[in-house]
Amino acid sequence: MLRVIAVLGKISLRHPNIVCRCLSSCTGESGLVFRPLLEPTHIAKLDSPSPADFSSEVLGRDSDSGDAKLYPRIVTGLTKNWPASRKWSTIGSLLSERTAHLSVPVELGKKNVGYNIDASMTYTGETEALGAPSWQRTDIRFDLFVQLLESGRLEEEGLVAYLSQVSIDEIPPLEEDVQLPLPHTPQLAANPNLWIGSKGTYTPIHRDILGHNLLFQLLGTKHVRLYPPTQYSRLYISTDPFLRNTSLIPFDHSFDRSRWPLFGEVDEWYECIIGPGDALFMPKGWYHSVWALEKSISVNSWFL
Ligand SMILES: O=C(O)CCC(=O)C(=O)O
């Protein structure tokens, strides 16, 4: 529920560095195949840009074309001086006397299942499957959360735990390890957020409204798909005020075409895999889904 509130808040509110590839199709565990009409577009990569290069090449700010259409980019080198880049080598490395006792909100659920699952099943009439929630949020001590992730038990059981979109100032020692704002993005739109989770966490297709987004990957790899705002009518965006901005499609890596026929008509989309040292630039208003391929730590910040 709090995640829903967090999403509402948005309303009102791999290794070797980047491996970015285009996949023509992707078969999920259910055997359903995601094969849009067109191939995904390659996301270009920019290595260690200066603030001026970032401004011109990523944000198009010195272009004469006015409101130039912006595109996702993978940017490297932005976090190289952060203590986090050196210190956050495992989930366990986040544990210290200062973090252990903190109470943190954590989402518990099944792997590859997002916070939109119940709304999705209601939409498709699969209400008989709606028993106990397959996704819920609870507050636990940070040391227990870390132990849970490090034990490997979750993965054995097909479950995930995700500390997701938690304002980084809730865990001050971790806030000290990141250096934001960057000179590249001096005007932040909100506090940066932490995302710490097990393999298989899935954030469904949604869009942020607070500004452009940089998703910094510090540990593990994530598979990100992006859809420009022009694809809105094919993404089944919920009209529920609690889920506004979020798609009802349960999992965009494998989906049932008979239930989501318009999604099969998506004709412009992008994808990449980000790993430690990468930051993914997501232009304001672009829809995105994020799937953790490994245990993962990310930080995101919205900026103007
Ligand atoms: O990493 C994730 O699971 C989601 C990140 C995201 O959606 C965001 O930064 O807006």
Give the ligand 1 atom nearest the CA of 10. 10
**Residue 121: predicted pLDDT:** 87
What burial letters (b/e) apply to 248-270, b meaning 16+ CB within 10 Å?
Answer: bbbbbbbbeeebbeebeebeebb
Q: Concatenated DSSP letters for 16-47? A: SS-B----S-EE-TTS-EE--SSPPBPPPEEE
Q: How far away, in angstroms, is 193 Cα from ligand 1 center?
A: 9
Give the ligand 1 atom nearest the CA of 215. 9
**Residue 30: predicted pLDDT:** 45
Give the ligand 1 atom nearest the CA of 296. 1
Q: How far away, in angstroms, is 203 Cα from ligand 1 center?
A: 6
**Residue 249: predicted pLDDT:** 96
**Residue 31: predicted pLDDT:** 44
- Strand-pair partners of 226: 270, 288
- The whole domain housing 220 covers 2-303
pTM of the model: 0.88
Paired tokens of 265 = 């008509």
* Residue ranges of the chain whose pLDDT lies below 70: 1-38, 63-67, 128-130, 132-133
Residues 6+ apart with CB under 8 A from 230: 268
Q: What is the rounded CA–CA span in Å between residue 180 and residue 183?
A: 8
Ligand 1 is surrounded, with C-beta below 6 A, by: 195, 201, 203, 208, 213, 215, 222, 288, 290, 298, 300
Q: What is the pLDDT of residues 54-72, one digit of tens each?
A: 999 999 987 665 567 899 9
**Residue 10: predicted pLDDT:** 34
Based on the structure, what is the number of domains in the chain? 1
**Residue 35: predicted pLDDT:** 52
Q: How far away, in angstroms, is 232 Cα from ligand 1 center?
A: 18
Q: What is the rounded CA–CA span in Å between residue 291 and residue 162?
A: 12
**Residue 11: predicted pLDDT:** 29
Pocket test for ligand 1, best of 289, 290, 302 (most atoms within 8 A of CB): 290
- What CATH number is given to the structural domain containing 80? 2.60.120.650
Q: How far away, in angstroms, is 64 Cα from ligand 1 center?
A: 31
Q: What is the rounded CA–CA span in Å between residue 299 and residue 290?
A: 13
Pocket test for ligand 1, best of 13, 185, 193, 215 (most atoms within 8 A of CB): 215
Other Cβ atoms less than 10 A from the Cβ of 76: the count is: 17
